Structures are given as C-alpha cells and as structure tokens.
Structure 1
Amino acid sequence: MAEVTMPRLSDTMSEGTVGRWLKQLGEPVAVGEIIAEIETDKATMELESFDAGKLQQIVVPAGQTVPIGTVIAYIGEGEVVATPPPAPTAPTVATATPRIAPSTASHNGVSHERVKASPLARQIAKQKGIDLHTISGSGPGGRVVKQDVEQYVAPAEQQVPSSGAPMSRMRQAIARTMSASKPGIPHMYLTMEIAMDAAVALREQIRTTGVKVSLNDMVVKAAALALRTVPALNASYQNDANGQPAILSHTAINIGVAVALTDGLVAPVVRDADSKPLSVVSSEIHTMAHRAREGKIKQHELEGATFQVTSLGMYGISEFGSIITPPQAASLAVAAVRKVPVVRHDQIVIGQVMNVTLSADHRVVDGAIGAAYLKELKRLLEAPLSIIV
C-alpha cells in the first residue's frame, strides 16, 4: 500500500492539522484527486493523492495535528482497516480551538451526519466553535456558505463578550512573522501623492471592452514595472553560505498581493508580474483571491514573493504604512483614491489623488533609492498607457 504523509506545504511549516477527509474508507481514489483538507500556519490547503486505488486506512482522524512526514493514511488494494481513535494528547494552543468533525452519532437529539458546507464556511464555524448542524444553508442543495455562518455569528458576538479563545494557526503564524519583522527590520517609510485621474479614466475605457480591471490591479502592474527601473528594492537581506549578512538580488519580479480573510490575511503571488499583460495580472489576482477566501489556495501560490502590495483603499483609508514580510525588503501600502481640490495650471480644480507609502528595509536601501522608486511609480500611474503597452 502507498503511504499518504503529512506534506511540507511551506518553509515555516513543522506540523499540520487534518481539517477533514473528503474521501471515506473504501472509496476509490484517482491520481491528482483531492482526498483531504490540511490546515497549515498560513491557510487551509487541499491534499492531492499521488497514487490510485482505494482509501484503505485513515491513520490520523480529522482534527488531529501531527508533524510533517507522519503517515496519515494508506491507499491501495485489499482489506479496508477501520480508522483508529485519535491518540490522547496534551492540550496545546494549536489544538484547543473547537473543531467540527463529521460523525453519525447524535447528542442531545441533534444529528451529526455530515453537513454540506463550503470550506470557508467550515473554517469560520470551526474558529467560532459553531455546530454546522444548527445553521440553515442558503447555497445550492442547502449548502452552508460563508454568509450563513456570518449571519449566525453576528447576533451572538454583539451580545457576548470575547472569552479569550485560543489563537488560530493562521493568527499564530501572522504573530510570529510580524514579531520577526517589527522591531527586527529597521523600517523606513516614504509617502507620495499620485494623481489618479488618467488611471481612473483608462480603467473605465478598459471596462467598456468587457475586461474587468481594478485600480489595484493597475497599481500592482505599475509596482512591478517600477522594480525594473529600481531593482535595488527587489531584494532580500539574509545570511550567505558563511553565515555573514548579505543582500540577495532577485531576477524575477514576483508581487505578493495581500488578501484579507476572516482570521488574518494571505498574499497570493503574481509571478513575473512585470512581464505579464495587465489583463493577465488582473485575472490571476482575482482568481487567487477568490480561492484564498474559499480556503482553496495552493501553497505554491503563496510562496516566492519578492515585493508586496497591500491596499486598504476599499475601506476609505487615506494613508497608512504596511509592515514588511521577511525576507522581502519592501512593501507598498495603497490608500483610497480621493477627490480633493488640487492646483493645476495655477487653477484650483477637483482632482483624484491617491497616497502610497513605501516601507523599505533600511539595511538594504537608503531613502534616495526609495524616493526614486516612488517617483517611477508615480510616473507610470500618471501616464497609465505605459503599463498596458
């Protein structure tokens, strides 16, 4: 029989949790078929099978956390072995969060048969300690979706104060990364105002062709092109083979785009963003963001970023500074486009402006380099045809 082991889905991952099994004992499994959902320190990932056969044995039940490399199931032919009960373990922060596991038993008259629910709905319900059986689904076939769980949670959260529940694995990972970044990385902040009238007009022209492109998509593309002109920011501060501090310059320009989730954020990566057409950049951003919110993002789609763009414009934020994600050397914070009085040709008119703030690792670059980058970004966005030709 072929072993199915807990995979290493990220460089920081040392253990993983089986969120749920999507295949039952004895069911046929094809190569490449999704057999389980694995919760990592970054997101909930789908586990694909590398072998064909039948699911012969489930070694690690849903809800249990084990180190990477641990055998969690067997696939092959022959007699099906019943799933063993979970081994008793000492309570930890990672396993203290209430989990919702499918069962055919009942408790207090409530059926515990498997509920049809989206991965994101299950993730939110698990974090909140909610039994999905108590929620009416509004999706196809009565499927419980994200909105159903949020509507169920909202009244309770308005009435009941927080009980100090344990942090989720994602929140713990964010805490570790941000603690390493601040005060570990000496941040330098530079802010520039960019006139967005031409970019807004161009976006509307593009939309008339049936292509949906957002202003944030245009900023991501411009941010990548600006790194071509100022490549010093497309770098990482790290130790070399001899353990000495060094600056690693990257040849590929891979932009991480921050996506807010219910319990944190992830940053799907648009690889070679400088060389892809704006329409492709836009499509990749929106496709990966959708999968991230549904809990279906792939681990490789979250790795390899050399620069990050974070936008809070949709919340009306006029200016903010983002925290650099190691080992990147810089991050761009994008605020809202606002209509304000501006002076043009000695006349006061209404213009559309946007503030961007560059956070840069002062060990890698100085202020002049950061200023040169923002100047190039401003040039590209104020003459936006240059980002689509």
Structure 2
Amino acid sequence: MAEIISMPQLSDTMEEGTVIKWNKKIGDKVYEGDILAEIETDKATQDFEIDVSGILLFIGVKEGEKTRVNDILAIIGEEGEDINHLISKSKKIQKEKKDKINKEDRIFISPLAKKMAKKIGISLSDINKGSGDYGRIIKKDIDKYYKKTKLKENKFHKKISHSSMRKKIAKHLTFSKFSAPHYYLFNEIHVDKLIEFRKKLNDKLSLEEKISFNDIIIKAVAQSLKKNPNMNVSWNEEEILFHSHIHIGIAVAIKDGLIVPVIKNSDQKSLLQISKEIKDKVFRSKSKKIQPEEIENSTFTVSNLGMYGIESFTSIINVPNSSILSIGSIMKRPIIKNSKIEIGNIMKITLSCDHRIIDGAIASNYIYSLKNYLEDPITILF
C-alpha cells in the first residue's frame, strides 16, 4: 500500500525545508535506511533517511524548491499502484493550509488603492492597516506612504528571496535583542605575550596542527568561565540556570548568514583538541554538513571579526546564553610601559551581557580573569 513521505522536521525550530538533492528518481527501488534526499533546514543540510521500502512513485518537491514541514515530499508504494487519490488529498490539505494563512493575513484595501500600490510597487504588508473604515487602506494611505519612503529614488540590482536559514537568523536575533536587556563592557588586552606564546607553540607543531589566536581565546574564555561560574548561566521566567558544563559557541559566517557550532566541555580540552575541533566544525558548517546536535546547547558565545580588520564591535546575545564576547583585530598602538611610551600590540574586546541575570560587577570580574589569561597565556595551560 502506497505511503506518503512528508517533509520531516529535522530540527526543533524547522518550519520549512529545501530539497537540495534527490538521491533517487521515480521508478527506483528504495529500502528502509536509504538516504532519499539532502534537505536544507534553517540550520544545516542533512541527509533524510527513510523508514519504509518500496518503489519511489512520486516526487512532490523539485531540487532547489522548498515546502513546509509535513507537506508531501514523496510517495513510496508498489510498482504500478494508483496514487492519484493520495496526491489529490495531499494537495487539497496543503491548499486548505495556505488558504487559512492567506485569510489570516488578508489586508482590506479599496480597488483604487490596490491598483496604485501595484503600479508604484508598494508591498501592502508594509502598510497593513489604513485610515479607512475598519482599517481599510485607501488612496490617501498609498499617497502618504509613497511620499514618506520616496520609492522612485530606490533602485535594486536584484532581489533574492530569504533562505530558511536567513529567516531563522532574523527571527532568533530579533527575539534575542528585544527579550534580553543588553549592556556592554569594553576593554583592551595587551597581547605581546599572546603573540609570542602562539609563535613558540607553532614552531613545534606541524602545518596541520597550527594554533590560531582564536583557539587560544576559546581556551581562555572557557578557563575564565570556570573561574567565574556566575557567568555560565541562563535565564528563564522561573529560575536562574547554572550550567555544570562549559560549551562555547563560535559564530561562523557562511553563505546564507551565520551559524554557531559548539565546542563542548571546552575547559576540559587541550589547545590542540580545541584547534582540531574548530577547524573541523567550521569546515563542515560552511559546507552545510554540520549536524543539529553540534550547534545546540552552548552556554557562552564568541564572535571574532579580527581577521576582517574590525577594531571593535558589539554582538547580540545568542539566547539562551546570557552573554557573548566580541573580539576585534590585533593592532599596533602606543602603550605606556614602565612610565615610557612604547609600541605594543593590543586587542579590543566587548562583552555583551543580559542585565536580568548578570550584574556589572560579575561581568567585570569575568573580564579581569580573561584579561589575565590572555596577557599571560601560559597560565591557561594550568
């Protein structure tokens, strides 16, 4: 008997998925455990393993197209089996869902205003409610909005639809920014010893094992959290959660936005272990082969833009974390040493904190510990 294969929910936040590649074609024999397709979620690209056997009779989503979770993806059954009734039923259900959404999002607008908006290129969702009866959009509302935005002056080279990942990032960061009251602490780290420490380490390592500044920073961040457990916390409406483990998320730029692979139990790992794991997870993040469990359950996040020449910046907290550390580039600057002005290397850092749970004194003590580790990096090994 034919069975509908629906778009699976491959992550806890997935609302829709894009079929990147079909590994089978219509008419192929498939077996339980086969990888039927590669599906891009809001977090990563994953293999979709089926749990039935039979003949692939129908493909409901083309490569490069997306559909919502639980919509029809494929039909598997016996050779020559009539599946028209299943296709019709599935399409009817999907149409009813779409109609329901459209009904909820319906905007009331006069025919003239609608015609004007279409001609000018105004998205009605940007106005949503007009000044007419019961919020109806009328000509006056279109005129007002047009004058305000001056759409005639806007020119677009091209338009690209939001990817699932970009939508998820926007939703998550908006929630993070407006749910957690942010404040920021700034500091400068003298990194002459850090530079020398890294050089001595790398002189003894192979090319594949080379340690980056970011590797050392992650280790120092973890050691500082171990020394300041009140920073390794999360907020919920009933209680403060003190984490027994230290899992460091690393913000990684990819084609469609940002992903945060997690180095779990960072405080218990050596510099070489951290370095190797970061290299592997960054590579797989950029090729969208990272697994969902590898980008979940961080307790603290580090965002490093030093390699892009950024001097300093602030970051939005990656909730449910309560803080995020922003790392700028290493720069030569005049510094005062032994009452004399010398040229030294400094690195600016910014700590963003959730004021509901982390007070300024707690965050300041954390920065003090981190600064000591980075200015005398041999200490992170003990």
TM-score (norm 2): 0.74
CA pair 340-81 structure 1, distance change in 2 beyond 3 A: farther
Is the Cα–Cα contact under 8 Å of residues 39 and 48 in structure 2 kept in the other structure? no
Q: Structure 1 residue 46: deviation in Å?
A: 1.7
Structure 2 residue matching 1:335: 3-state secondary structure: strand
Is the Cα–Cα contact under 8 Å of residues 2 and 51 in structure 1 kept in the other structure? no
Partner of 1:68: 69
Is the Cα–Cα contact under 8 Å of residues 27 and 55 in structure 2 kept in the other structure? yes
Distance 2:317 2:336 in 1: 34
Matches within 5 A, 1:188-267: 188-208=183-203, 209-210=205-206, 211-240=209-238, 246-267=239-260
Cα deviation per residue 1:127-173 (whole Å; 9 max; x = unaligned)? xxxxxxxxxxxxxxxxxxxxxxxxxxxxxxxxx94344332222211
Distance 1:47 1:213 in 2: 32
Distance 1:60 1:281 in 2: 43
Partner of 1:96: none
Matched residue pairs, number? 317
Partner of 2:176: 181
Distance 1:356 1:345 in 2: 24
Partner of 2:47: 47
Instruction: In structure 1, list runs of 5 or more residues that go unmatched.
Output: 94-159, 241-245
Distance 1:80 1:373 in 2: 66
Matches within 5 A, 1:95-244: 161-208=156-203, 209-210=205-206, 211-240=209-238
Is the Cα–Cα contact under 8 Å of residues 233 and 299 in structure 2 kept in the other structure? yes
Q: Aligned partner of 1:61: which letter?
A: V
Confirm or deny that 1:279 pairs with 2:279: no
Match of 1:359 among 341, 344, 352: 352
Cα deviation per residue 1:308-337 (whole Å; 9 max; x = unaligned)? 100110111111111101111000000001
CA pair 215-178 structure 1, distance change in 2 beyond 3 A: same
Partner of 2:289: 296
Q: Aligned partner of 1:193: which letter?
A: E
Distance 2:336 2:82 in 1: 76
CA pair 30-215 structure 1, distance change in 2 beyond 3 A: farther
Structure 1 residue matching 2:267: 3-state secondary structure: coil
Distance 1:370 1:279 in 2: 28
Structure exhibiting the larger radius of gyration computed from Cα positions: 2
Q: Structure 1 residue 283: deviation in Å?
A: 1.3
Q: Structure 1 residue 16: deviation in Å?
A: 2.4
CA pair 252-54 structure 1, distance change in 2 beyond 3 A: farther
**Identical aligned pairs, as a percentage?**
38
Structure 2 residue matching 1:222: 3-state secondary structure: helix
Cα deviation per residue 1:185-214 (whole Å; 9 max; x = unaligned)? 110100111111122122222222212111
Partner of 1:124: none
CA pair 346-206 structure 1, distance change in 2 beyond 3 A: same
Q: Structure 1 residue 387: deviation in Å?
A: 2.4
Q: Structure 1 residue 306: deviation in Å?
A: 1.1
CA pair 32-203 structure 1, distance change in 2 beyond 3 A: farther
CA pair 339-69 structure 1, distance change in 2 beyond 3 A: same
Q: Structure 1 residue 74: deviation in Å?
A: 5.8
Q: Structure 1 residue 176: deviation in Å?
A: 1.1
Confirm or deny that 1:10 pairs with 2:8: no
After the TM superposition, which of the residue ranges 71-80 and 31-40 deviates more from structure 2?
71-80
Match of 2:341 among 334, 338, 348: 348
Q: Aligned partner of 1:225: which letter?
A: Q
Is the Cα–Cα contact under 8 Å of residues 257 and 308 in structure 1 kept in the other structure? yes
Partner of 2:56: 56
Distance 1:343 1:23 in 2: 67
Q: Structure 1 residue 21: deviation in Å?
A: 1.2
Distance 1:56 1:168 in 2: 28
CA pair 347-29 structure 1, distance change in 2 beyond 3 A: farther
Partner of 1:106: none
Partner of 1:370: 363
Is the Cα–Cα contact under 8 Å of residues 278 and 387 in structure 1 kept in the other structure? no
TM-score (norm 1): 0.72
Q: Aligned partner of 1:268: which letter?
A: P
